[in-house]
Amino acid sequence: MNMNISAESRSGLGKEAAKKVRNASKIPAVFYGFGAESQPVSLDPKSLEQALATPKGKNGYFTFTLDGNDQPNKVLIREIQRHPVTRRILHVDIVCPNPEQPIETVVPLSFVGRSVGVSQGGRARRPYREVVVRGLPENIPSEISIDMGPIDMGDQVNASELDVGECSVIYDRDFVVFKVVAPRGGPKS
């Protein structure tokens, strides 16, 4: 599914210019990257919300329309700034990556099923909710699913064991993303 993000050029930088854009029911943003000159834009909130509602969400690879003209490249949403209380989107960075160069981005982990070890009284440990992956922009997964069903007490899943398709998980040292530990006081009998 190919989603489109609509934007309009805008003039002015800084807090006052961004405030005027928000008062006009638009979202201030900056568009930059490979083959594109950095420029301030205002986004249509509806097209941004639809794009973020796709299965890939923030990791989606979107077509970008600026002032009604399709841009030659697709874009990624690099950063979303939200209001700390209302969680309303305040500002967005949109980047046009080189489609032939790998990028690094954060991908959430999805824990699926109920572990055998947990069913026997063990406690699940999920020290990480997301990992950094490296791959071509079009190959970045929306999430990484971990099937917890076969994981018994004392077993664990390391970052090196994650299935990320044509991408790779980035780490200095391999780390545990899920494990089942014995309950306090030993296993239940």
Q: What is the pLDDT of residue 158?
A: 93
**pLDDT at residue 169 tops 90:** yes
Task: State whether the Cα torsion 2-47-136-33 is positive or negative.
Answer: positive
Cα dihedral 97, 102, 106, 107, rounded to 10, equals 110
Query: Which phi and psi (to 5°) does residue 118 adopt?
Result: -70, -40
Provide mean pLDDT across the span 102-131. Answer: 90
The CATH superfamily holding the domain 104-181 is Ribosomal protein L25, C-terminal domain (2.170.120.20)
The domain segmentation of the chain, as residue ranges, is 4-97, 104-181
Query: Which phi and psi (to 5°) does residue 14 adopt?
Result: 100, 180
Structure confidence by residue, pLDDT tens digits, 159-168: 999 999 899 9
Structure confidence by residue, pLDDT tens digits, 51-92: 888 777 777 778 888 877 765 568 888 888 888 998 888 889
Q: What is the pLDDT of residue 18?
A: 83
d(CA 106, CA 57): 12
Which of 1.10.10.60, 3.30.590.20, 2.40.240.10, 3.40.50.170 is the CATH number of 4-97? 2.40.240.10
d(CA 134, CA 34): 18
**pLDDT at residue 172 tops 80:** yes
List the one residue out of 43, 53, 62 whose CA is nearest residue 2: 62
d(CA 95, CA 137): 11
Q: How many residues does the chain have?
A: 189
Q: What is the pLDDT of residue 85?
A: 92
Residue with tokens 């994650």: 162
Q: What is the pLDDT of residue 71?
A: 57
Q: How many CA atoms lie within 13 A of 179 on its CB side?
A: 12
